[in-house]
Amino acid sequence: MSGGPIVRPYGDATGDGMVQVSFTLPVPHDKRAEGAALQLAAKMGLDPAMLVHSRQMGDGFTFFVVYGRVSHLVDLSAVRVVERDYPLLSAKEVNGLIRRRLRRKLSVVGACIGTDAHTVGIDAILNVKGIAGEKGLEYYRELRVTNLGAQVSVPDLVAAARAERADAVLVSQVVTQRDAHLHNTREMSAAFREAMPVGRRPLLVVGGPRFDELMAGELGVDRIFGRGTTPGEVASYLVHRLVAGGAAGPARAAAGATAAPGDRDRSAGRGTEGVGG
Amino acid sequence: MARDSGSGGKLALDPVLVGRARELARRAGQPVVELARGHTTVSVERAVLRLAGVTGADPDGIPWVNRLVDAVVADVGLAHGVAVPVFDALRRELGVPIPAGSDVGAAVTLLAQKAAAGSVRFEVPAGRAARSAGAAARRAVGVGLRRIDRRRSERDRMVRRHGDPGQRPWIYLIVATGDIYEDIPQAQAAARAGADVIAVIRSTGQSLLDYVPEGATREGFAGTYATQQNFRLMRAALDDSSRELGRYVRLTNYASGLCMPEMAVLAGLERLDMMLNDSMYGILFRDINPVRTFVDQRFSRQVHARAGIVINTGEDNYLTTADAVDEAHTVTVSQLLNEYFAHEAGLPDAQLGLGHAFEIDPDLPESFRLELAHALLARELFPDAPLKWMPPTRHMTGDVFRGNLLDGFFNLVGTMTGQGILLVGMMTEAVVTPWLSDRDLALQNVRYVLGAAGGLHEDFVPAPGGFIQRRAATVLGEAVALLERIVDGGLLPAIADGTFGITKRPADRGRGLDGVAAHADDYYNPATELLEAGS
């Protein structure tokens, strides 16, 4: 815990500034390689830097672990993140608000778009099973969930949103090679803008482990959820925006502590891919 | 596959219950096999044409086998099979039966090009014309099967010359850059670092393409396209590595998807050694039509059986979407179904890489003992199958240090329970596509555990009536109960109802359904005939 708005890394004493980094250099392991690692560490601001481990891998690569002290200061008052700007509700509260205020089921359409076949994220949010003991949106009685699954084309998504009279469209993007997640999201939001007038458009929400939550406006969507998002957060957000008369407009940036770190999204680089592909 | 955990029965499983589980799997699977025997698909027919030697693609990259099957279907439908209409048209086009020894594949490829241009009409001949077209097709397909046979003998020779890995489990490592020319040096480096099996992960979504891309490819999404040329390039590179390292380095790719039968043929022709091939994966996880999947699966497995390719099934996938403790029995049920379907298609136990995974929440008390119980259950139920043991993914959090520890425990279960193939877990699972250093650390982890505890399976005998034995009995009992329900209602309705995973997959929905047809009375498939006759 820090006492003030300025902090620095903590090794085993307040203010010691100690960090640990590991990296690989494309050189065989010898004295020169170790010197090169220390030079890199110095340029990264580690002073003094201690090379604690080095090991050659294959023909021309060496792996290093370096500990060292950085002089950089972190100004907590200058940290900018998206803070949760809606109240977190229980499933019962979500259902109750929809029933009382909307008086019909709230329609949610979800999909992975583009070539992305990783349904892990959207399934974690939508499937009854949910994630980490928290049930997915299918579990909410007052939500009508349509999960289109993987590799849905944008026109199909727009058509499904229309057919289901979607109040909200949730899109998951895991694959980020060549910024596919950004291109796909822009294509998706543009298609909805073209297909439906303002006011008739569903709320557009995207999620994935590699999105910058601050980019919602730039990508033309209402909200971006990053790694570690739970179904309850998504449900609470939907109710806040669509039912409870919450603030309109894209998510605003707020100063303060970092968003809750997550641990549950999966990356594109899964070591095991089942029989998929 | 020598091992010493097999016959002793470390779990004291009730042999009556084990027999009942197998019998139920047979009864659940049999109607589906009957369904598969009475249907064909566009991919099965394209696989027949590939065996007959049709190669290449049109300028848009659509393979000639696709163009030819589409042309036949447009004229006479799919229900007769394409072999007879195609070879009948070939005789009419060429005027004479094709002389023995000539390049039939090139002639049929030329026919495909003409058909694509609309200059060939297909018919369903009767009588003598039908018999002669059928015989010509059988000869052409026989040539393809003999090429697969030669590749199999070649593998046998290379294994004799270079040898198998010195240890069990075999170390299985994934490579995936999207660029086959980048994959090759990475695969060779991985082999040098100790990998016994290299899997080239496919570009995401290839399983939903209804054609097989052509040529060497340098762009993919989170993986490299599976093409015949990519198979050939990688196999040649690993042959070099095998010679260099003095052990035969195996190559794996993926059959599952809309092109299972064709993938199986291409893998056989290019001497791949393992293929991921699950009986229900496409249905449950890719929303491919169930009938399409089962028809394609059966044919592809018949080809794998012929090619000597070890299939890898995908039970790990269940545990990435469902709880690894509550749903442990669904893994057992799937393994039993996969075994039944594989045996029916002619695959011996030695070619059954049945899958399972280390996916129990590590925060659960006794999670390691539960993993041991589940892994040992698979080992004892399938004593002669080279089981494929897959690493944690669901509870890899991005904390790479904890992940490395979890992978170490995963490796320990693998060696303690005598698994056949160990997919190396990466501590950076859920973080990045593995870096060079991640792979090196992961292999160090495996080598440490196998080196330090490689013989521990000898000493590891669970206490009679103890936690592990009881847990295994519970899972087996739940599997039998689930199989009973499936047999009562039927496998296809069970899939439709969401019995496996949470997804509901009705038999009349899903991708690829329009490429399925029931056999007409005169349906003829020379490949199935030759594969089932074993000639």
What are the structural domain ranges in chain B?
Answer: 15-29+165-473, 39-144
Q: Residue B359: its chain A contacts at CB < 8 A?
A: none
| Residue written as token pair 């008369």 | A245
Backbone angles phi, psi at B176, to 5 degrees: -165, 100
**pLDDT tens digit sequence for B284-343:** 877 789 999 999 999 999 999 999 999 999 988 777 767 889 989 999 999 999 999 999
Q: Note whether B256 contacts A: Cβ–Cβ < 8 A.
A: yes
* CA A160 to mean position of chain CA atoms: 25
- CB count in 10 Å sphere of residue A139: 18
**pLDDT tens digit sequence for B156-195:** 999 999 999 999 999 999 988 889 999 999 999 999 999 9
φ/ψ region of B287 (left if φ > 0, alpha if ψ in -120 to 50, else beta) reads left
Nearest CA of chain B to the CA of A218: how many Å?
Answer: 24
Average pLDDT of chain B is 93
- How many angstroms separate the CA atoms of B69 and B285, rounded? 27
pLDDT band at A269; cut points 50, 70, 90: very low
Nearest to A129 among B205, B221, B321 (CB): B321
Residues 6+ apart with CB under 8 A from B533: none
Contact B6, B383 (CB under 8 A): yes
β-pair partners for A204? A169
The residue of chain B with its CA nearest to that of A269 is B433
Q: Tell me the average pLDDT across B418-428.
A: 95
- How many angstroms separate the CA atoms of B373 and B69, rounded? 49
Q: Note whether B320 contacts A: Cβ–Cβ < 8 A.
A: yes
The per-residue pLDDT for A256 is: 32
pLDDT for residue B98 is more than 70? no
Percent of chain B predicted with pLDDT > 90: 82
Contact B303, B265 (CB under 8 A): yes
Q: Note whether B364 contacts A: Cβ–Cβ < 8 A.
A: no
**pLDDT tens digit sequence for A180-221:** 889 999 999 999 999 999 888 999 999 988 888 889 999 999
- Chain A residues near any Cβ of chain B (below 8 Å): 22-24, 55, 57-58, 61, 63, 115-120, 123, 127-129, 149-151, 175, 177, 180, 209, 227, 263-277
The per-residue pLDDT for B510 is: 84
- How many angstroms separate the CA atoms of B4 and B477, rounded? 25
Q: Note whether B399 contacts A: Cβ–Cβ < 8 A.
A: yes
Catalytic member of B88, B211, B388, B524? B388
Q: Residue A276: its chain B contacts at CB < 8 A?
A: 202, 204, 207, 254, 256, 281, 285-286, 314, 317
Q: Residue B205: its chain A contacts at CB < 8 A?
A: 115-117, 150-151, 277
Domain map (residue ranges) of chain A: 6-76, 80-255
Equal CATH topology for A6-76 and A80-255: no
Q: Does domain A6-76 have CATH number 3.40.50.12160?
A: no
- How many angstroms separate the CA atoms of B369 and B351, rounded? 28
Q: ipTM value of the model?
A: 0.84
Check if B524 is active-site: no
Higher-scoring residue by pLDDT: B397, B411: B411
Catalytic member of B316, B340, B438, B524? B316
Is the CB of A127 less than 8 angstroms away from the CB of B206?
no
Distances (CA, A) of A249 to A80, A183, A203, A215, B121: 18, 22, 11, 13, 61
Q: Residue A123: its chain B contacts at CB < 8 A?
A: 321, 502
The per-residue pLDDT for A245 is: 62
| Residue written as token pair 């090679």 | A177
CATH topology of domain B15-29+165-473: TIM Barrel (3.20.20)
Check if B281 is active-site: yes
* CATH class (in words) of the domain with range A80-255: alpha beta
Q: Residue B423: its chain A contacts at CB < 8 A?
A: 271-272
